[in-house]
Amino acid sequence: MAVEPPVSAAACVTIPVVAHRGGLERWAENSGNAYRDASNQGAGVWETDVRFTSDDVPVIMHDPEVDRTTDGTGLVADLTYAQVAALRTADGQPVPTLTQLINDAAVDGPRLLVELKTVPTPAQWATFNAALASRPGVASRVLLMSFEVQALVGATQYAPALTRGLLQSVGDTDPAAVTPYAKILIKHVNAITAARMTKWKGAGLTVYAWTVNTSSEWERMTWYPGMAGVITDQPGAYLAWQKSRTC
């Protein structure tokens, strides 16, 4: 991807920060403490990952396996919720359920970018929706996203009120391949260019960039009018950088 010069250096552009997995600065990823810390630092949006246990409980976990982020082993889909609940992260925290995250969000007030890591079954959609409904009002702040188009198609049937977003990696995107399923495009930072942003925005898509972890990339995102959010592992550092800018 060619690096482009800024279109204009006229004024500081403020792009909202999205705490990717709660942030990796102080606490284990996708943990209760990480999300609370992100809010305490000023992040108004949390990004998270949902998988389902063998008994269809939605839990907050990025990987298919629990091995990397907890003291356990095995696939999330093969473990019961009771087994997952007994696990601890490297800093001693339990694995949150989606219901627990929704409860924290009801207190702290962030918007939520919730990634489905699998295509839910009807039974899993039922437990997913029950978690969202556990605290009235939070669901209206949820953006449901996935790399899997079939997960978004399922959402049109099982969770039609939720705003939907399609996650994609590098490369260009034809808006016509997105708009039947989603209003939001969440695109890898290395795929963002001025011409593409103009095309995507012109088609009515809202665009987020992931995962944006350096000051040079934070700066580059300000070159593109209409960027909806910067998804970063470093929400505190991003907010400090944003505050320190002079224009």
Please give the pLDDT value at position 11.
Answer: 60
Identify the pLDDT of residue 224.
95
Determine the average pLDDT of the residues in 56-67. 98
Residue 2: Cβ within 10 Å count: 4
Residue 37 has pLDDT above 60, yes or no: yes
Residue 106: CATH number of its domain: 3.20.20.190
- Interatomic CA distance for residues 89 and 190, integer angstroms: 31
- The domain of 22 spans 17-56+98-244
Instruction: Give the pLDDT score at 12.
Output: 79
**92 domain residue, yes or no:** no
pLDDT score of 5: 54
Q: Is the residue at 236 inside a domain?
A: yes
Flag whether pLDDT at 42 surpasses 80: yes
pLDDT over 60 at 3, yes or no: no
Percent of all residues in the chain with a pLDDT value above 70, rounded to a whole number: 95
Residue 87: the pLDDT is: 98
Q: Let me know if residue 108 belongs to a domain.
A: yes
140, part of any domain: yes
> In this predicted structure, what is the pLDDT of residue 9?
45
28 within some domain: yes
Q: Considering the domain boundaries, does residue 4 fall inside one?
A: no
Q: Is residue 71 part of a domain?
A: no
Quick check: 187 pLDDT over 50?
A: yes
The pair of three-digit structure tokens given for residue 133, joined into one six-digit string: 């409904």
Tell me how many domains the chain contains: 1
Average pLDDT, integer, range 106-128: 98
Q: Is residue 212 part of a domain?
A: yes
The label of the residue with tokens 């998804």 reads: 231
Q: How many helices (H) and strands (E) does the chain have?
A: 8, 9
**Does the pLDDT of residue 1 top 90, yes or no?**
no
Residue 141: is its pLDDT beyond 70? yes
> Is the pTM higher than 0.85?
yes
